Amino acid sequence: AVVSTQSAITPGLREREHGVAMHRQFQHDLYRLRLTTARNFAEALQKKMMPISSSNFAPLKLSANVQGIGPMFRLTIEVMNTSTSHPILGAYVVLVTNDTLYVLEKCYISLPLLVPSLTYTVNTMVRCTSDQGITDAINVFVYIKGKCSPVLTAIIDMPASESMIVV
């Protein structure tokens, strides 16, 4: 009982003796965390790697879902115009991936007129050509015709393809 009491008293004494220094270190670590978070957020905004665009002319929201256990997957992409009053015309989705691992049914998908507050769903099939269990990512870019940089960017990590089960 003496050992456990002593182990409980020691941190308390250390906190009393070095409380100011410990608080200063905590504040410094919290400052560094906030700085790192702000830098990463600014980088994500600059590279348009957010699920919601920060653009005033094309406020869009993107979500993606992968279904299947392989080697065939269904990639479902949902795009929503978050504007309250302005429709968006001329939007399209471009999919880019490693051609040695995946074959895409469609790599360019034109979107219809995006009416505000409606979600538009597009699907494409993805076939994994590797039987080694290697995975990679699919990059999704949403462009507006006439603009040279994407409005939205997403990276979809593909799951491992299940092997054929022989019974």
Of 5-9, 86-90, 122-126, 137-141, least confident by mean pLDDT is 5-9
pLDDT band at residue 29, thresholds of 50, 70 and 90?
Answer: very high
pLDDT at residue 1 tops 70: no
Rank 33-42, 49-58, 62-71, 117-126 by mean pLDDT and report only the highest: 117-126
CA–CA separation, 59 and 151 (whole Å): 8
pLDDT in tens, 94-149: 999 998 899 999 999 999 999 998 999 999 999 988 878 788 999 999 999 988 88
Degrees to nearest 5, angle at CA 76 with 75 and 82: 145
Residues 6+ apart with CB under 8 A from 100: 129, 130
Q: What's CA 88's distance to the chain center, in Å? A: 23
Q: How many helices (H) and strands (E) does the chain have?
A: 2, 8
Check residue 165 and give its pLDDT: 41
Name the pTM for this structure: 0.67
pLDDT at residue 32 tops 80: yes
Residues 6+ apart with CB under 8 A from 31: none
CA–CA separation, 36 and 59 (whole Å): 26
Structure tokens at 18: 């070095």
Task: Give φ, ψ of 96 to 5 degrees.
Answer: -130, 130
Q: Residues, the chain, total?
A: 167
Check residue 164 and give its pLDDT: 46
Burial of 142 (0-12, 13-18, 19+ CB in 10 A): buried
Check residue 55 and give its pLDDT: 65
Place of tokens 């992409």: 77
Rank 3-17, 45-59, 80-94, 153-167 by mean pLDDT and report only the highest: 80-94
Task: Give φ, ψ of 30 to 5 degrees.
Answer: -65, -40
Pick the closest to residue 102 from 123, 128, 76 (CA basis): 128
